[in-house]
Amino acid sequence: MSISDPTDKRPTSEAEDEPYRSDGVTADGSQASRDFAGSRLSPRPTGAGLALERALVACVMLFLGVTGLSTLLVTASLPNYDNAVVFSFSRAPLVVAGIAVILAFLLRVCGRGVLVRIDERKLAIGVVVYALIAGTIWVLSARVWPDWDSLDLINAALEMGQRGSIFYEHGGYLYRFPYQMGYVFLIRLVSLVAHGHTYLLLEALNIVFTAWILYLVIAITRELFASRRAVGICCVLCLLFLPLIFYVTFAYAIAIGLAFALLGLLLQIRAIARGSKRLGFESALAISASCILKSNMLVALAAMAVVWLCHLIGYRALSSACGLATLLAVYATASLSISLITLRICGMETSHGIPTSVPIAMGLSDTGGENYGWYNGYSWKYDAEHYSVERYDREARTIIRSQVDRFVADPGYAWTFFSKKYWSEWCMPTYESLLASNWRGSSRPEVPVMTKRPYTPLARIVYYGALHDAILGMLDVLQTLIIAGALIEVISDRIRCRRDQRRRDPGCASDAVHRGGLRVQHMGPLLFAAGSALFYLFWEAQSQYVMPAYVALLPFAAGGISVALDGIGCRHRTRAVEETSR
């Protein structure tokens, strides 16, 4: 049973049955932003559970602190529209000023009660409509074509089932990268109804899933925070997160995989809060679909597995054991099914792909310039005739051992390597989104170079000139604001926890985190982001890989910004506006 929302004008039964809802909203719309929905009704954790929660929160705080400081001091970019990373260390004052401007705007808007008066559903619908319109405008303005991976994937889908296709033969593209088969099957289905416009239809699909991503981010915010104001702030952040819009022109499974990952995280939060095995099963289906379509979403699956396991240990909840078993079983079944279907239709086994040691070797390699640990083409060193899993694995392990020895022998070099690799991933505010539609080179001679095409007026000013610089500056500010907001939320939660424990509030058990506190069942998105930082510290790097982590942090950033606005006096203004509106 949810705590009714005093600002919700719907009948109680409707509010409880609405699948997109929030629990425990208070009248002022601000204080409740500090409480996580449903936590007051949750059982208190055991001693082991409390220790696990504290350990996880400490890891998340470390990640947010390091990343926040990095994004403030460092800005990475690709000014020449190639893979050559350039660092800037002079933008911190502009970032701070930009954050101050955004906070001042939100303070004024929240002080007038605008975000509290507007129904969250209307805000969410408005954001969805914005994404659909903005994505469509960008597709029509960018006018790009498939190249690099997207070109190979589309060609592979069109040649599916053909004898002698180079994509499925020994050493071919999908023979090396069989984890792409899920998306290739989707492209094949799209091509059957596209009538020669496969790429355009894939762009349209990206637009729809981008809109769904923003809706899911808002839904997670509403599920976590009992505050209309936090939801409103999240909507503002979603409107500013332009890389999602820019990526709609890239025929890759980024948007689709992220959407299903966010759905899985949302359903897991609801499953634990309501003790629902059905929701747990649906969350397993969603995250499995995400991983089949985009393999790097395995980090999100691992985060969900950690949540199930820690909730099982911390709360002795057998339903969490069921959730964990279901998650692993569904993903294993989905992976096996894709392998069997691939063998049946394409005649290709999926067990001969590039070994995991290869992307790790690339992730630890110095390729020259500032692109430490980036993709360097090593996976294509040997042609199809000389391709061998054993040979690659043996050679990659030698590279890894050699680099580890070098790191140990020269700590200064190790610091330079990993710090610049981390900055190139986490401090690039565009996440390669503009590069994806404006490459300076092409994958093969017959493919036109994107930077040489005639630009539409909008595309030209987005790629170059004053508007481009303004977009880069705004996204640089937003990147730091997202991390800072999430860090504020987590830190303020810890402070409130200790304060409540000292006071021994009768409504708060002495061993509990605190009333309405951040608990392990809420931490899936946070662990996804922190896990991505750890994973890509060693894995082959690109900035586009970490964009989903920033998207997952948007709900917590909104909660932290709401806390910050409370600290500078917005709470009392909002309460006064609400009293007047009644």
The 8-class DSSP code of residue 3 comes to P
DSSP letter string over 326-356? HHHHHHHHHHHHHHHHHHHHH---STTSPPT
Contact status, residue 496 vs residue 31, Cβ threshold 8 Å: no
Residue 518: closest CA among 21, 5, 40 = 40
The predicted structure's pLDDT at residue 502: 66
| Rounded average pLDDT over 302-320 | 94
| Greatest extent of the chain over all pairs of C-alpha atoms, in Å | 77
Residue 5 pLDDT class (50, 70, 90 cuts): very low
The predicted structure's pLDDT at residue 503: 63
Between strands 75-77 and 86-88, the pairing is antiparallel
Q: How many CA atoms lie within 13 A of 404 on its CB side?
A: 9
The predicted structure's pLDDT at residue 566: 87
336-395 per-position pLDDT tens digit: 999 999 999 999 999 999 999 999 999 999 988 899 999 999 999 999 999 999 999 999
DSSP letter string over 461-485? HHHSSHHHHHHHHHHHHHHHHHHHH
221-259 per-position pLDDT tens digit: 999 998 889 999 999 999 999 999 999 999 999 999 999
**Rounded to an integer, what distance in angstroms lies between the CA atom of residue 238 and that of residue 262?**
14
One-letter amino acid at 2 equals S
Calculate the CA dihedral of residues 173, 179, 182, 187 and round it to 10 degrees: -30
Cβ partners under 8 Å of residue 510, min gap 6: 501, 504
Residue 50 pLDDT class (50, 70, 90 cuts): confident
Cα distance between the two ends of the chain: 26
Residue found under tokens 């640089």: 476
State the Rg of the chain over Cα: 24
Task: State both tokens at 307.
Answer: 């949540």
Q: 534 by DSSP, 3-state: which?
A: helix
Asked if pLDDT for residue 573 goes beyond 60, the answer is no
**Rounded to an integer, what distance in angstroms lies between the CA atom of residue 39 and that of residue 2?**
11
| Rounded average pLDDT over 406-423 | 97
| CA 403 to the chain's CA centroid | 30
* Mean per-residue pLDDT over the chain, rounded: 89
18-28 per-position pLDDT tens digit: 333 333 334 34
Residue 501 pLDDT class (50, 70, 90 cuts): low
The predicted structure's pLDDT at residue 40: 41
Residue 80 pLDDT class (50, 70, 90 cuts): very high
Can you give the residue ranges of every domain in the chain?
A: 47-497+517-580
Q: Which residue has the higher pLDDT, 474 or 32?
A: 474
The predicted structure's pLDDT at residue 244: 98
Residue 279: closest CA among 245, 239, 326 = 326
Q: 36 by DSSP, 3-state: which?
A: strand
